[in-house]
Amino acid sequence: MSVDVATPARTAPEILSWSRDLVEPELRSATARLSESVKPPTYHHFGWTDGGGSGKVLRPAMALLSAEAVGSAPEPALPAAVTVELVHNFSLLHDDVVDGDATRRHRATVWKVFGVGTAILAGDALLALAAELLAERPAQLRILMIAVADLIEGQCADLRFEDRDDVDVAECRDMAKGKTAALLGASCAMGAVAGGGGREQIRQLRSFGEEIGLAFQFVDDLLGIWGEQAVTGKPVYSDLRNRKKSLPVVAALRSGTREGRQLAQLYGKPDDLTSPELARAAELVEGAGGRRWAQEQADQLLEKALSRLHAAVPRPRAEAELTALARLVARRDR
C-alpha cells in the first residue's frame, strides 16, 4: 500500500486523538443546545461531569477519514461525525435501560444515577438533536435514520433471543449486523457523502464500515467474557452473568460438543451463576471452540473489510489510516 510521503499515515491512537480534538468541541456545542433537564444525565453519560473525556469516538473518526478517502478535507464530515456519535450514545442510553446494565465506561449508568425515565428521555433528546442537526443534509439524514431503524431491529432481536434456547449462529450474526454494523456502515457512508464521493465509493465505504462493525461485535463479545474489567469498564464475565446469547456463546451452544451441552445446562439454571460457575462457563465456551471461532471470524471480517476499502479507490493516506483503525477494532482483544 502506497502512502503519501509528505504526510505519513498516523497510528490508530494518533487518529483517535486527532478525531477527538476535532469532534469534541463540536459535540459540546451541539449538546449545549439540549434542554436544561437533559444536560446533567447527558454530560454524566459522556463523562464530562467528572473531568473525563468522551469515549473512543471511533465512529466520528471513521466518518472523517471516509471524507478524506474520497478526496475531501475532513471538515465537511463534522456534522456526520457529531451526529453518528449522538446516535451511538442515544442507543447506549436506551440499551443500558433495556439490558439493565448498571455500569458503563467505569461509571454508573444514567438510569442507575438519574432513574429510568430520565435515561429514556435523555436518549430521545440525543436522537432528536441528531436529526435536527442534519436538517440541511437530507442524504446523510436518511442514511443515519435508516441505520437507527436497523439498530433498533438488532436490539429487538437481542431481546427476543433472551427467551429462546434455539438461537443459531446466523440469526446471531444478523442481530449483530443491526446492533453494530449498521451504524459503523452509516458513519463511513455519511463521511463519503459529505466528502462528495461517488456512488460506488459510498457503497464500498459503507460496506467497509459494516464489515468492521461486525468484526467489532465479535471482539466485543469476546471481551464480554474474557475482557479485563480495567479495559471494558464492566464486571468480568458480565455477558455470562447476564446469560447473554453472544456470538461465541451461541457457537459453543450449537457446537454439538460435550462442553456445549454442559454450557447449556449452566445457562438453563434458574438461579444466578456463582463465581466458580461463571469461570466454568467461560472454560466451556472455550472448550467448545466458541472463543477460537469468534477470533477467526473477526480476522476474516477484517480482511473482507479491507478489500472493500481498497475497492473504494481511496486516497492512500486515508486508506492506511482507515486500515489502522480497522485493525485496532478487530484485534483489541489480543
Site residues, a second copy (CB under 8 A): 33-38, 90, 94, 97-99, 115-118, 120-121, 123-125, 127-129, 131-132, 135-136, 138-139, 141-142, 145-146, 148-150, 152-153, 155-157, 159-160
> 24 vs 96, which CB is nearer to a second copy?
96
Contacts with 167 (C-beta within 8 Å, 6 or more apart), sequence order: 161, 245, 250, 253
> Helical H runs in 163-255?
169-176, 182-194, 199-226, 229-232, 238-241, 247-253
**How far apart (Å, rounded) are the C-alpha atoms in residues 272 and 307?**
44
> 65 vs 125, which CB is nearer to a second copy?
125
> 81 vs 125, which CB is nearer to a second copy?
125
Q: Closest separation between CB of residue 64 and a second copy, Å?
A: 23
Contact call for residues 92 and 45 (beta carbons, < 8 A):
yes
Q: Closest separation between CB of residue 30 and a second copy, Å?
A: 12
Q: Closest separation between CB of residue 7 and a second copy, Å?
A: 36
Q: Closest separation between CB of residue 108 and a second copy, Å?
A: 18
Q: Closest separation between CB of residue 190 and a second copy, Å?
A: 13
> 151 vs 305, which CB is nearer to a second copy?
151
Q: Which three cell numbers stand for residue 101?
A: 446494565
Cα angle 47, 80, 86; round to 5 = 30
Residue environment code for 158-186, b if the CB has 16+ CB neighbours within 10 A, otherwise e: beebeeeeebebebbbebbbbbbbbbbbb
> 6 vs 135, which CB is nearer to a second copy?
135
